Structure 1
Amino acid sequence: MADILKVTTPLSGYDNSTIKNNPQAGQGIHIQNPIDPSKVMRGDNRTDSGGTGDQQLAFQYGSNFGAFLNLVKNIPDLSKIFADIFFQGEEVLTGGIMGEEAAQKIASFFEATQMQAEEILPFIKEQTESAVRFNGGIFDQLRQVMAETTSVDLKAEVLNFIRKFNDMSSGKHILHDIFNTVKDMEAYVFKQTREQIESFLKELDLSAPEGQTSPNSALLKEKLLPFLGRYIAMNHDMGTIRDKISLLTVLIARYENGDRGEVLQSFSRLTGYQGFRKFFGSMTMEQFGELLHQVDMEQAAGKNQWADKFIDFLKAGVNGDAGLENKQMFQNILQSMVLNESVYMPLIHLAFPMNVDGRKLFSEMWIDPDEEGSSTQAGAKHTARIFVKFDIRELGQFKLLLLYGDNAATLQLYYPEKMQKSEADIHKGIKNILDRHHFRADNIYLQAGGGPSSPVEVFPKIHERKNSVDVRI
């Protein structure tokens, strides 16, 4: 028995010759310095990323940022997936049995993708401006404050103000999310409780203007949440409704945080910093309040009709309305788009299908409008870096890398191999486009096939956090 259990301490009544040492007690030949939680140990050649001893600064794949990089590298190619769906055509996607509402959303989206050649540039410009959430004079000045100040407190106050403004401009959207979350709870409670929840929803003012949150916040915090808390305590319901209550509390906190008075007070605190007054002068809280009246909250909240139709289309696909065989592809598309909106992604990401004069194409692009902001580009002139993947029906996938600034451009284009005989015409066409827009082409590089597959390979700025401390929670 002693041999089976690998007992290492002699016991009375056993022959010591039969007791063997635990083979795991020794140190493996590949472990120079085993981990001891009770001590601070030398790191020797261990790397959590699985690298060699030379990779002393390799990022940890167990960290949040390491997980993000892995996802970006391994995520399915959105341009290929969506192109396959988009090129099927409206007739294929709307075939079979589906609800009238879903069919209408899909048809509306396909109609929105149709445009003329001269409409492409204004469309891309509109989508780019919508992708930048905070724009306008106030936020341009706040960016200058953040760039020049060395005060950690001032930066924290600026970020706190932006967070409150963001919640205020999104007030109606958050309120509707609250309504839908509470409405979903009705399916998980008893009839009497459901009736009480419905009465609370009737009191909720969904037409309340952004910034005027007090009446709805009072109803949600003083009546609805205590009622739901009592329901959980009495019924010991630890299922779906408890998870929805957790989501509800976060939404209520955001909604209350967007109160107009909170935004004004946050601005008032900023006026106490010299670094802030350098750009805003002696603007008072009252003057800023007048500016808020002139702000288009829908635009500030990123309202975009085309994007809304795109989202409705994706929702229909994820729900299986575009065919169950396409459901997984829609889920991959949604995952890719959410990933590209990560807080770790320092780039503008755009993705849109277009039907131009009857020819369908899908384009995805990543834009860094501030290339010299990267530590790897110290001292460089003002430049922008763009990576575009676009798929044209009947031709195939193209990949474009563009670095431009000071009216000069360096361009790399990877085109489908079957177009190799047309390389001279492609080069001439690109040169004409650059000349038409008064850009000097320092270098135009063309290659059949190949090219980078992920923005991680193109933008060094994405890697800048790899040596920072990052702990997964």
Structure 2
Amino acid sequence: MADILKVTTPMSGYDNSTIKNNPQAGQGPQIQNPVDPSKVMRGDNRTDSGGNQEQQLAFQYRSNFGTFLNLIKNSPDITRIFSDVFFQGEEMLTGGVMGEEAARQIASFFKASQMKEEDVLGFLKEQAESSVRFNGGIFDQLRQVMAETGSVDLKADILNFIKKFNDMSSGKHILHDIFNTVKDMEGYVFKQTASQLEEMLKELDLSAKEGDTQSNSALLKEKILPFMGRYIATNHDMGTVRDKISLLSVLMARYENGNREDVLQAFAKLTGYQGFRRHFGSTTAEEFGELLGQVDMEQAAGKNQWSDKFIEFLRTGVSGGAGLENRQTFLNIIQSLVVNESVYMPILHLAFPMEINGKKLFSEMWIDPDEEGSSTQAGAQRIARIFIKFEIAELGPFKLLMLYGDNTSSLQLYYPEKLKKSETSIQKGIKSILEKNHLRSDRIILQAGEGPSSLVSVFPKIQERKNTVDVRI
């Protein structure tokens, strides 16, 4: 029988008083921290700051920010993936694999992507403005206050106000997410519970204005959430329903945070700071409340018709409407889009397909409007760094890196190898475009080949937090 306890039998026989333990086996060369029961030890091969780079990287990837960097590194190339889908065009509709509704959604998106050359600039501006949630006179002045003040309290209160305004402007969207989440729960509970939940859900006022949250919040907090809590406690349901309740709680908190009165109180608190009054004068919370009545909340929430069609197109693909063989492709596109919208991403991301005068292209753009952080310094010149990946049907992929500031620019274009003979005409075309838009270029570099493969190599500031304390929650 194997000696599992690693005990030896003494020469004198089975005398418990003389039992001896085997000598401790020699430690392997890879073991840095042998186990000692009398002490609290770190895990094997772990150090506070030492260890090889591979060990440190593995530890970093167990943090939230490290996971984000890992996702950036391994994220699917949406430009290549979406180009393959978009360039199929009508073939997706004539393949005979989709229903009438799916075909309608896809056809609607393809039609929305068609435009003339003179419409492109307006389209790009519209997409960029809808991607920036906080624009307009009020928020421009708040940015100036943030740049000038040294008060941590003022900055914190400004961010608190913006958060509340954001939740208020997104009120209808959040409310519909709440409705859909509760509706989904009905499919995971008993029939009697589902019918009771359905009756309570009828009391939810989906037409409530942004900021008018009291009635719906009371229904959610006093009826629906306690009802589902009792259901879980009674039936010990720790599956999907419990996960959806966690999501519901987050949505409820956001919805209630967007209460109009709370937004006005947050603004009133800002009026107590001299740095705030320097830009806003004697504006009162009541006057600000009157301004809120004139704000287009859908625009403030970033609502955009083209984006809505884009989302419906992706939803159709994920649901299998474009064929089950393409479902994973659409999932990869969504994954890439979500990663680029992470709270850790310090730059603006845009992605859009276009069909211009019958020629299809897909473009993905990253913009850092403040390359050196100079906008926080009075009188400093702002330099923007722009990275664009685009693919043109029948030509191939391109990459453009551009630095722009004070009406001058420098750019570097990577183009497909097969266009090497056309490099001179490409350079002339770029100069013509810059001159047409009254831009002066200090340097234009053209190079055949793939170009940079990592977004981090183009925007090093993405890794700015890598040396800070970061944990996974």
Deviations 1:46-76 (A, max 9, x none): 2575369xxxxx9923222122112112211
What is aligned with 2:281?
281
Counterparts of 1:394-433 in structure 2, within 5 Å, are 394-433=394-433
Partners of 1:2 and 1:139 lie apart in 2 by 75
Q: Give the C-alpha shift of residue 272 in structure 1.
A: 1.6
What is aligned with 1:391?
391
Deviations 1:412-443 (A, max 9, x none): 00000000000000011111111111211111
With over 3 angstroms needed to count, the CA separation of the structure-2 counterparts of 1:150 and 1:178, relative to structure 1, is same
Q: Give the C-alpha shift of residue 13 in structure 1.
A: 5.7
Q: Give the C-alpha shift of residue 295 in structure 1.
A: 0.8
With over 3 angstroms needed to count, the CA separation of the structure-2 counterparts of 1:6 and 1:419, relative to structure 1, is farther
Counterparts of 1:138-153 in structure 2, within 5 Å, are 138-153=138-153
Partners of 1:319 and 1:235 lie apart in 2 by 31
What is aligned with 2:244?
244
With over 3 angstroms needed to count, the CA separation of the structure-2 counterparts of 1:227 and 1:13, relative to structure 1, is closer
With over 3 angstroms needed to count, the CA separation of the structure-2 counterparts of 1:59 and 1:237, relative to structure 1, is closer
With over 3 angstroms needed to count, the CA separation of the structure-2 counterparts of 1:236 and 1:104, relative to structure 1, is same
Cα RMSD, aligned residues only: 2.8
Counterparts of 1:248-287 in structure 2, within 5 Å, are 248-287=248-287
| Partner residue of 2:25 out of 13, 22, 26 | 22
Preserved contact between residue 423 and residue 446 of structure 1 (Cα < 8 Å): yes
Preserved contact between residue 32 and residue 44 of structure 1 (Cα < 8 Å): no
Q: Give the C-alpha shift of residue 9 in structure 1.
A: 12
Preserved contact between residue 7 and residue 22 of structure 1 (Cα < 8 Å): no
What is aligned with 1:191?
191
Partners of 2:425 and 2:326 lie apart in 1 by 37
Partners of 1:59 and 1:245 lie apart in 2 by 32
Deviates more, 1:223-232 or 1:437-446: 223-232
Alignment partner of 1:174 is 2:174: yes
Q: Give the C-alpha shift of residue 12 in structure 1.
A: 5.0
Q: How many pairs are equivalent?
A: 464
2:335 partner letter: Q
Q: Give the C-alpha shift of residue 15 in structure 1.
A: 8.8
Counterpart of 2:467 in 1: which secondary structure?
Answer: coil
Partners of 1:213 and 1:147 lie apart in 2 by 33
What is aligned with 2:164?
164
2:105 partner letter: K
Alignment partner of 1:95 is 2:95: yes
What is aligned with 1:55?
none
Alignment partner of 1:373 is 2:373: yes
Deviates more, 1:389-398 or 1:40-49: 40-49
Q: Give the C-alpha shift of residue 239 in structure 1.
A: 2.1
With over 3 angstroms needed to count, the CA separation of the structure-2 counterparts of 1:76 and 1:141, relative to structure 1, is same
With over 3 angstroms needed to count, the CA separation of the structure-2 counterparts of 1:5 and 1:123, relative to structure 1, is same
What is aligned with 1:453?
453
With over 3 angstroms needed to count, the CA separation of the structure-2 counterparts of 1:6 and 1:415, relative to structure 1, is farther
With over 3 angstroms needed to count, the CA separation of the structure-2 counterparts of 1:8 and 1:321, relative to structure 1, is farther
Deviations 1:180-238 (A, max 9, x none): 11111111222222222121121111111101111111111112122222222222222
What is aligned with 1:307?
307
With over 3 angstroms needed to count, the CA separation of the structure-2 counterparts of 1:266 and 1:15, relative to structure 1, is same
Partners of 1:227 and 1:32 lie apart in 2 by 54
Q: Give the C-alpha shift of residue 107 in structure 1.
A: 0.9
2:211 partner letter: G
Partners of 1:9 and 1:426 lie apart in 2 by 87
Q: Give the C-alpha shift of residue 449 in structure 1.
A: 0.8
Preserved contact between residue 411 and residue 445 of structure 1 (Cα < 8 Å): yes
What is aligned with 1:85?
85
Preserved contact between residue 3 and residue 18 of structure 1 (Cα < 8 Å): no
Partners of 2:121 and 2:268 lie apart in 1 by 40
Alignment partner of 1:43 is 2:48: yes
Preserved contact between residue 2 and residue 18 of structure 1 (Cα < 8 Å): no
Q: TM-score, normalised by structure 2?
A: 0.91
Counterpart of 1:46 in 2: which secondary structure?
Answer: coil
Q: Give the C-alpha shift of residue 383 in structure 1.
A: 1.1
Q: Percent identity?
A: 71
Preserved contact between residue 7 and residue 19 of structure 2 (Cα < 8 Å): no
Partners of 2:336 and 2:15 lie apart in 1 by 64
What is aligned with 1:357?
357
Partners of 1:452 and 1:82 lie apart in 2 by 19
Counterparts of 1:190-229 in structure 2, within 5 Å, are 190-229=190-229
What is aligned with 2:76?
76
2:178 partner letter: I
With over 3 angstroms needed to count, the CA separation of the structure-2 counterparts of 1:119 and 1:48, relative to structure 1, is same
Preserved contact between residue 176 and residue 206 of structure 2 (Cα < 8 Å): yes
Counterparts of 1:120-135 in structure 2, within 5 Å, are 120-135=120-135
Deviates more, 1:444-453 or 1:238-247: 238-247
Q: Give the C-alpha shift of residue 454 in structure 1.
A: 2.6
Partners of 1:8 and 1:17 lie apart in 2 by 6
1:305 partner letter: Q
Preserved contact between residue 9 and residue 19 of structure 2 (Cα < 8 Å): no
Q: Give the C-alpha shift of residue 444 in structure 1.
A: 0.6
Alignment partner of 1:443 is 2:446: no
1:43 partner letter: D
Counterpart of 1:295 in 2: which secondary structure?
Answer: coil
1:242 partner letter: R
What is aligned with 1:107?
107
Preserved contact between residue 185 and residue 241 of structure 2 (Cα < 8 Å): yes
Deviates more, 1:177-186 or 1:418-427: 177-186
With over 3 angstroms needed to count, the CA separation of the structure-2 counterparts of 1:217 and 1:386, relative to structure 1, is same
Deviations 1:301-345 (A, max 9, x none): 000000000000001111111111111111000000000000111
Q: Give the C-alpha shift of residue 174 in structure 1.
A: 0.7
Structure 2, unmatched stretches of 5+, are: none
1:20 partner letter: P
With over 3 angstroms needed to count, the CA separation of the structure-2 counterparts of 1:299 and 1:14, relative to structure 1, is same
Partners of 1:307 and 1:47 lie apart in 2 by 45
Counterpart of 1:401 in 2: which secondary structure?
Answer: strand
Partners of 2:54 and 2:284 lie apart in 1 by 52
